[in-house]
Structure 1
Amino acid sequence: MCCSGLAGCRILDDMRLWVVLNLVPCVAIPAMLFLFAPKYTHSRFWFLATGFYLLARFEGLADRKVYSVNRYFISGHSLEHLCFAMVTLILTVMLSFRNIKITRDS
């Protein structure tokens, strides 16, 4: 099994480190959004970026299945890279439009 270039997985044949590094942010980022009040506007873009990240991970894992389902038009690996590009685009848009939230005391 390949784990996207991590040498430890190839040597030890262990995927736990790869799973931790790839899936913990998908749980931690939305949890932090629920637990802490946002300091900036457009914080909901994090949910959208996390969704595309998870979609990319699943497309990468189901590469051959995706390729056969869409009649060999585009592979899951290619769709994975397109979803990762969407994550970058979404976070770039968020950073370009965000402002500091100002709470007003009445």
Structure 2
Amino acid sequence: MRSYRRTVLLLLHNYFEIIFWFAAAYLVLAGEFRFENMNGSLVGVIYSSFVVMTNFGSPGIKAQTVVGLYVLWAQSITGLFMTLLSLARFIALLPAPGTLEKGERQD
């Protein structure tokens, strides 16, 4: 690992890449979804993709078919998995806390 900043930037890049790929899937499979309050505009679809990725579900997009439901679930699970993986990675990088016990020190 070169730096924490690089790791964070790569992680954010990966999040946004997945958001845009799912937004493209929503546009290609537009018949599988019902877009509320945005009429399927590009900005609205990207926003819906972001909300589905960061939450479980979106008030702005509803699945009309089973395929649409699978796509929404896939994005929600991907977002959850990426968040857990990212947290695990950063927790593993944290330095170990010091100890006051003489038997545990590695002086």
- Report the TM-score, using the length of structure 2 for normalisation: 0.31
RCO (CA 8 Å, sep 6+): is it higher in 1 or 2? 1
- Report the TM-score, using the length of structure 1 for normalisation: 0.31
* Greater C-alpha radius of gyration: 2
